[in-house]
Amino acid sequence: MAAHGIQCWTTHSLDKVFPDSERPPRARNDISLKVARNETEDAQVAVRIPRGVEIERASCKLTPLAGPGGAEIPAGCLSAHWQWFIYVTHNPPANRDPATYLRKAPAFFPDAFLEEAEIRIRDEWTQPLWFSVRVPAQARPGRYAGALSLELQVRDGDRVEIEVPVTVEVWPFALPERFHLHHTEWFWPEAFVRTHGVKLWSEEHWAWIEKVARDMAAHKQDMILTRFTPWGGGETLRPSLVGMTRRSDGTFDFDFSLLDRWIETFKSAGVEWIEGGHVARRVGGWQSQIGFKRFPVCEEDGSLIPTGRDAMSEEEFEPIVEALLKGVYGHLKGRGWHRQYVQHVADEPVPENAGSWCRIAGLVKEWLPDVPRIDAVMAEGLDGYVELRLPQIQQIGEPSALQEPEQLWSYVCLAPQGVYPNRFLDYASIRNRVIFWLSWTLRLKGFLHWGYNAWRAWQGVPVPIEISPWTDATGGSIYCQDRNPLPAGDPHIVYPGKETICSSIRWEVVRKGFEDYEYLWLLDDLARAAPDGPAKQRAEDLLARVRTEIAPDPATHTRDDALLLATRRQMGEAISALWSG
Q: Kindly report, residue by residue over 51-91, the tens digit of the pLDDT.
A: 999 999 999 999 999 999 999 999 999 999 999 999 999 99
Q: Does residue 191 lie within any of the structural domains?
A: no
Separation in Å, CA 301 to CA 109, 248, 304, 312: 55, 10, 9, 20
Rounded average pLDDT over 151-178: 95
Rounded average pLDDT over 268-290: 96
* β-pairing verdict for 55-62 and 142-154: antiparallel
Rounded average pLDDT over 529-537: 96
Domain identity same for 170 and 242: no
Rounded average pLDDT over 443-463: 90
Give the sign of the dihedral formed by CA 361, CA 365, CA 367, CA 373: positive
Please, what is the average pLDDT of the chain? 94
Domain identity same for 241 and 146: no
Of the given ranges (3-7, 44-48, 142-146, 314-318), which has the lowest mean pLDDT? 3-7
Domain identity same for 156 and 254: no
Q: What is the DSSP letter of 530?
A: S
Q: Does residue 502 lie within any of the structural domains?
A: no
Separation in Å, CA 563 to CA 13, 326, 449, 569: 14, 51, 27, 10
Q: Which residues pair with 84 in a beta bridge?
A: 112
Does residue 430 have a pLDDT over 90? yes
Does residue 235 have a pLDDT over 50? no
**Pairwise pLDDT comparison (581 vs 237), residue with the higher score:** 581
Q: Residue 1 — very low, low, confident or very high, per pLDDT cuts 50/70/90?
A: low
Does residue 528 have a pLDDT over 60? yes
Q: What predicted TM-score, i.e. pTM, was given to this entire model?
A: 0.96
Could you tell me the CATH number of the domain that includes residue 139? 2.60.40.10
Query: Among the three residues 339, 359, 390, which one is the final residue of a domain in this structure?
Result: 390
Give the sign of the dihedral formed by CA 454, CA 88, CA 471, CA 214: negative
pLDDT at residue 402, rounded to an integer:
65
Does residue 232 have a pLDDT over 70? no
Answer yes or no: are the C-beta atoms of 138 and 74 closer than 8 Å.
no
Query: Among the three residues 174, 196, 219, which one is the final residue of a domain in this structure?
Result: 174
pLDDT at residue 157, rounded to an integer:
83
Q: How many domains does the chain have?
A: 3
Rounded average pLDDT over 352-373: 97
Q: Residue 2 — very low, low, confident or very high, per pLDDT cuts 50/70/90?
A: confident
Whole domain around residue 116: which residue ranges?
Answer: 3-174
Rounded average pLDDT over 404-428: 94
